[in-house]
Chain A
């Protein structure tokens, strides 16, 4: 079936109207029609080559100890089994740690988390491989596992040394402050729960090469690790990803192991091998957002102004470092959120535990730091008896301040965003109504909170802030675009295509976005840190500008005009000569250029300016700029059961000059709901043996449609980015997740009403009905006691 599109629009008609789908337009996702038809191809949907086999890993059944026996005879004997692969069968490198070493492709005699892969079995069908993997006879000599942050801190079990960031002298400023406060918060992790589970499809090629289709945010890293495990040059490995069914950070480093295993199996058997994790395996075998145990000591004055802060953050890293160093760093960078803490010391611990290695998840440690800032501000408000919003406003940074890592505060639009949202959502009036309602209703209590977000944009690992793109213009005027960014639903392909359409001033449907593949654009950074459109948009723009400058030079010579007489306009190139305009269809013009031997292909490149950071002194400018916003949430809790409902949410968010308002609003809405899920219904739980007990969709609950607040308003704060980003837009992927913190603060506000807002309730996350009820009961007993 074919569907009508504007692909057939004649050039004459295209001239009559502005080019469609340029930057700033509310264009639909480039795959929207394919999504709704189900014809968008994910890796498991690709036609399988004849002879394709399926790999599944055998998993450990303990958390910590030595393997004393690994008998795989019954696995081999299982129906449909073609091969069984262990560590000894890996031809090259066996350590596939992405940044730090330590992640073995299969366990090497010892087990460090429950479910750790011990071997892989390859069978004719997926089900046969699954059944075979269960047949292994394994015996262990168990050791005592470390299963909590507290345990790790007590036993000095760390994946990397602690790191400190300082401003001024926190210790003496604390001592001399008029009032001291202290508190702590346990912030639980989060499962990415991308709908498409991890998958790779490896196809052996000539010269020992390997083609790998992998659902990954980081094709270049998969390429490198596959090359290393096979002991072949990178040039013999090609990794391609057209789209992912969601990523959220979970496919940044942790897509690679399954690609490596599939490649090793495919290489041994010289047959295509697919490795897909089913949902249970995906939840057990891959890392999640880190839990954090956070503690603070604050020095404040009687107004609630922060004078000093001494903060300790401890991340639950799992058994290896993975990306934990950078994640704990980012929690430290964002523990101030929007506020000037003045004299500050922040210590970040990276706790090693016998659990799966935790990894990137939208926000990358930022949310766990930022929620703690909001926790502190609420605690201050209760201590000084003020509305939390007033305390927040009192402590906001101002232009000219600097952070606890030395980055100057400039272009600080957050106070204006907060004031605008406060007025637009009737914060003060609703506060008064809610206070009155809570006084009169014995069972139901409402809560309200308005919280800001300030999120630093750039990879804190500086060299990653680069991108490449490849643009071909064909002689019919159609454009082929490749870049290093990957599409996981965030609309990156759409936005970058809009940039290209904008540069050439042609219709978006003339721009074909090709699958991301390592042989088109090499040495790419992961699509992460919200940087996708900032980096790849600029790289694609650069490629377009290279081609355009060649075309302009050609036009100058060919038509005998100056560069200023050549313009790209509405699918045409317009040559102005002697006061007369000559409109050449873009296709005719590029064909003419081709016939005059002008290259119509260019590689573009971009690296982020201005950023620098010295981790030894913990100072510099790690972020090119900050993305900002504010959210106001209202909730109602039932004080008998702890159940609650989010009634209303208003968000005002800063994306600079939007590249695509529809996509940006989608990112903000989706981010908020994901953040709300993190702090409400999504509870990751391990049992006493370190086995993940919330390992299925039946036990791990992400929000459903009815959980979305009935009144849900998202608006863009349309101020252009002061920095020289692509069309002065701002990154959007991660920051809105942290608007979910408003829901948690509102729940805490509702609970605090039980004790007349005099005490700040302890409410660790996620705030399940059980935790809310416990917090309510703690408030009730305080009231009774007081």
Chain B
């Protein structure tokens, strides 16, 4: 049985298929049709909702794509949709600003934009005095596609809504009060229907107990990729274990583990959380995260999911390769640690055994002599998948490259180190000629394929050129070198 608050109304339901998405439940079961389906793949944002969690600071909301998120995610949460955020017969400021700025044409994407903007406004409500700038607005809207307006009036509305009287949406969510939840036996299914079940453990002990019973269960972290199995391939999973509420996995530092020289990141830390955590020690990495998926996707997707789903085009694995990250694995066979270089066995294959899960990733902090230069190449700047993800770590001492680790995504069946290129760089002077010579080895390190994102030739050429660009940016210090 799950219980959630929809626009101020508590709803309880037990007969929900574990594979049911939030969007499906809202539209089909509740006839809550203000949430639209545009792509059912987390790409267009027409289904954007706000999902709030009670914290010591009140309810904290974030946006997500209802189309690919499982219903389990709403348990004990406060959900808001566009028809529910007006107050006292008036439109919410985001809505009023959109009307005033002529920000809707066909109107189909509009409820999704409203929710992304309302979340931005809500954040501003919680941090008085902070008015989002254009960059923040683009980030908030990065997962909302509009085919009619050309966005200009929507961007204007997102600026002008802050001039209207603010409205704290907690009032709406709390209209019917806070409901207390009895302690739940997390080893019992949260949802069970049609012979299928979903578990949502809250501790590693519970997770391990469940894995002992269901070693072949589908592990579900953010689900931004796994959700597509349901909505695009119409798969039905018999047993799902959601891991994103396991307390130990959502931490960003582990007592005793988080030494000064390294960062410990729980596998279920979302990209949005990581943006903040990495900003200080790894600014170029934090910067890259802004280009992974959209705000909605970054609120759901996790670092561990990005690593463990073993996609050749995940954006963070090449960075973890460049940083020589250590992965912590746990499960029914006990704890073990694996260097990321040993984690991938082949296309979509890892060393994870049934009954095991990825617990955390550890990365060493950079010294003054160490540099991390990252570049993502895609057709579209925001919310696109890499043609090439380029991650270069360099240690430069006394004008000499003492160590180089270039790793790329999109260049092979797995994320992969450019071993020959790295060897060619190591020990060389930090000079453009060293980079030019090393670039000649890219073709030996990678034999990429041609696909819908780029041709093999472009992938090779741009990777060679990025080595030159990396040198150029690092020397002018205007690039994103750390």
B105 touches A489 (CB 8 A): yes
A243 touches B234 (CB 8 A): no
B132-144 interface bits toward A, Cβ cutoff 8 Å, 1 = contact, 0 = none: 0010011001101
B375-403 interface bits toward A, Cβ cutoff 8 Å, 1 = contact, 0 = none: 10101111111010000000000000000
A29 to B452, alpha carbons, bound, how many Å? 38
Given contacts A31-B107, A37-B82, 6 further A-B contacts (CB under 8 A): A35-B104, A638-B469, A666-B102, A693-B452, A696-B43, A698-B41
Contacting A at CB under 8 A, from B437-480, are 451-455, 458, 461-462, 465-466, 468-469, 472
Q: Does A564 contact B (CB under 8 A)?
A: no
Q: Does B46 contact A (CB under 8 A)?
A: yes
B76-92 interface bits toward A, Cβ cutoff 8 Å, 1 = contact, 0 = none: 00000111001001110
Contacts of A37 in B (CB 8 A): 34, 82-83, 86, 91, 95, 111
The stretch among B152-160, B317-325, B331-339 that forms the contact with chain A is B152-160
A297 to B365, alpha carbons, bound, how many Å? 62
Known: A3-B90, A681-B379, A701-B380. A36 touches B102 (CB 8 A): no
A67 to B285, alpha carbons, bound, how many Å? 53
> Taking CB as reference atom, which chain A residue is nearest B20?
A127
A25-52 interface bits toward B, Cβ cutoff 8 Å, 1 = contact, 0 = none: 0101101111111111110110100000
A1-36 interface bits toward B, Cβ cutoff 8 Å, 1 = contact, 0 = none: 111100000000000000000000010110111111
Contacts of B31 in A (CB 8 A): 47
* 15 pairs, CB–CB < 8 Å, chain A vs chain B: A38-B81, A38-B111, A38-B114, A39-B83, A195-B106, A195-B147, A243-B107, A245-B106, A674-B150, A699-B452, A704-B145, A705-B154, A705-B155, A773-B458, A773-B462
Known: A35-B104, A36-B114, A770-B458. A704 touches B36 (CB 8 A): no
A40 touches B469 (CB 8 A): no
Q: Does B37 contact A (CB under 8 A)?
A: yes
B384 touches A641 (CB 8 A): no
> Taking CB as reference atom, which chain B residue is nearest A714?
B152
> Taking CB as reference atom, which chain A residue is nearest B381?
A706
Contacts of B33 in A (CB 8 A): 38, 41, 44-45
A673 touches B150 (CB 8 A): yes
Smallest distance from the beta carbon of A491 to chain B beta carbons, Å? 7
Smallest distance from the beta carbon of A41 to chain B beta carbons, Å? 8
Known: A3-B89, A194-B106. A134 touches B37 (CB 8 A): no
Number of interface residues of B (CB under 8 A): 80
A701 touches B384 (CB 8 A): yes
Q: Does A280 contact B (CB under 8 A)?
A: yes
A28 touches B107 (CB 8 A): no
A666 touches B149 (CB 8 A): yes
Smallest distance from the beta carbon of B463 to chain A beta carbons, Å? 10
Q: Which of B41, B155, B381, B466 is the most central at the interface, judged by chain A CB atoms within 10 Å of its CB?
A: B381
Q: Which of A33, A491, A671 is the most central at the interface, judged by chain B CB atoms within 10 Å of its CB?
A: A33
Q: Select which of B91, B109, B147, B462 is within 8 A of A641 by beta carbon.
A: B462
> Taking CB as reference atom, which chain B residue is nearest A489?
B106
B107 touches A35 (CB 8 A): yes
A158-200 interface bits toward B, Cβ cutoff 8 Å, 1 = contact, 0 = none: 0000000000000000000000000000000000111111000
A196 touches B377 (CB 8 A): no
Q: Does A670 contact B (CB under 8 A)?
A: yes
Contacts of B178 in A (CB 8 A): none
Q: Does B247 contact A (CB under 8 A)?
A: no
Q: Does A119 contact B (CB under 8 A)?
A: no
Chain B residues with CB under 8 Å of chain A are 27-28, 31, 33-41, 43-44, 46, 81-83, 86, 89-91, 94-96, 98-100, 102, 104-111, 114, 134, 137-138, 141-142, 144-155, 232, 234, 375, 377, 379-385, 387, 451-455, 458, 461-462, 465-466, 468-469, 472
Chain A residues with CB under 8 Å of chain B are 1-4, 26, 28-29, 31-42, 44-45, 47, 125, 127, 130-131, 134, 192-197, 243-248, 278-280, 443, 488-491, 638, 640-643, 645, 662-663, 665-666, 669-674, 681, 683, 685, 693-694, 696-699, 701-708, 710, 712, 768-770, 773-774, 777
A489 touches B89 (CB 8 A): no
Contacts of A681 in B (CB 8 A): 379-380
Contacts of A278 in B (CB 8 A): 37, 40
Contacts of A192 in B (CB 8 A): 147
A39 touches B34 (CB 8 A): yes
B104 touches A32 (CB 8 A): yes
A36 to B477, alpha carbons, bound, how many Å? 45
Smallest distance from the beta carbon of A637 to chain B beta carbons, Å? 13
B382 touches A706 (CB 8 A): yes
A670 touches B38 (CB 8 A): no
Smallest distance from the beta carbon of A765 to chain B beta carbons, Å? 13
Contacts of A640 in B (CB 8 A): 462, 465-466, 468-469
Q: Select which of A26, A45, A696, A769 is within 8 A of B232 by beta carbon.
A: A696
Task: Tell me the interface secondary structure of chain A in the complex.
Answer: loop
B147 touches A246 (CB 8 A): yes
Contacts of B146 in A (CB 8 A): 195, 705
A666 to B150, alpha carbons, bound, how many Å? 8
A685 touches B452 (CB 8 A): yes
A118 to B114, alpha carbons, bound, how many Å? 40
A674 to B106, alpha carbons, bound, how many Å? 14
Q: Select which of B111, B142, B153 is within 8 A of A36 by beta carbon.
A: B111
B44 touches A195 (CB 8 A): yes
A36 touches B36 (CB 8 A): no
Smallest distance from the beta carbon of B479 to chain A beta carbons, Å? 11
Q: Select which of B89, B145, B153, B381 is within 8 A of A4 by beta carbon.
A: B89
A44 to B138, alpha carbons, bound, how many Å? 30
Smallest distance from the beta carbon of A738 to chain B beta carbons, Å? 14
B108 touches A245 (CB 8 A): yes
Known: A38-B81, A130-B234. A244 touches B106 (CB 8 A): yes
A193 to B106, alpha carbons, bound, how many Å? 12
B382 touches A38 (CB 8 A): no
> Taking CB as reference atom, which chain B residue is nearest A31?
B107
A279 touches B381 (CB 8 A): no
A666 touches B105 (CB 8 A): yes
Q: Select which of A28, A488, A683 is within 8 A of B379 by beta carbon.
A: A683
Contacts of A2 in B (CB 8 A): 89
Q: Select which of A4, A29, A642, A768 is within 8 A of B105 by beta carbon.
A: A29
B147 touches A704 (CB 8 A): no
> Taking CB as reference atom, which chain B residue is nearest A698?
B43
Q: Select which of B40, B153, B382 is within 8 A of A704 by beta carbon.
A: B382
Contacts of A704 in B (CB 8 A): 138, 141-142, 144-145, 151, 380-383
> Taking CB as reference atom, which chain B residue is nearest A768?
B379
A718 to B232, alpha carbons, bound, how many Å? 48
Known: A44-B37, A280-B232. A36 touches B99 (CB 8 A): yes
B44 touches A29 (CB 8 A): no
> Taking CB as reference atom, which chain B residue is nearest A491?
B105
A643 to B378, alpha carbons, bound, how many Å? 8
> Taking CB as reference atom, which chain A residue is nearest B472?
A443
Q: Which of A669, A693, A702, A704 is the most central at the interface, judged by chain B CB atoms within 10 Å of its CB?
A: A704
Contacts of A280 in B (CB 8 A): 232
Known: A643-B377, A672-B150. A697 touches B106 (CB 8 A): no
A38 touches B458 (CB 8 A): no
Smallest distance from the beta carbon of B149 to chain A beta carbons, Å? 5
Smallest distance from the beta carbon of B44 to chain A beta carbons, Å? 5
Q: Select which of A36, A642, A712, A769 is within 8 A of B104 by beta carbon.
A: A36
Contacts of B39 in A (CB 8 A): 279, 696-697
A706 to B40, alpha carbons, bound, how many Å? 23
A708 to B27, alpha carbons, bound, how many Å? 32
A35 touches B466 (CB 8 A): no
Closest 5 CB pairs of A and B: A38-B34, A489-B106, A245-B108, A35-B107, A697-B43
Q: Which of B28, B96, B107, B134 is the most central at the interface, judged by chain A CB atoms within 10 Å of its CB?
A: B107
Contacts of A672 in B (CB 8 A): 150
Smallest distance from the beta carbon of B480 to chain A beta carbons, Å? 13
Known: A29-B104, A672-B150. A697 touches B232 (CB 8 A): no
A519 to B138, alpha carbons, bound, how many Å? 45
B105 touches A490 (CB 8 A): yes
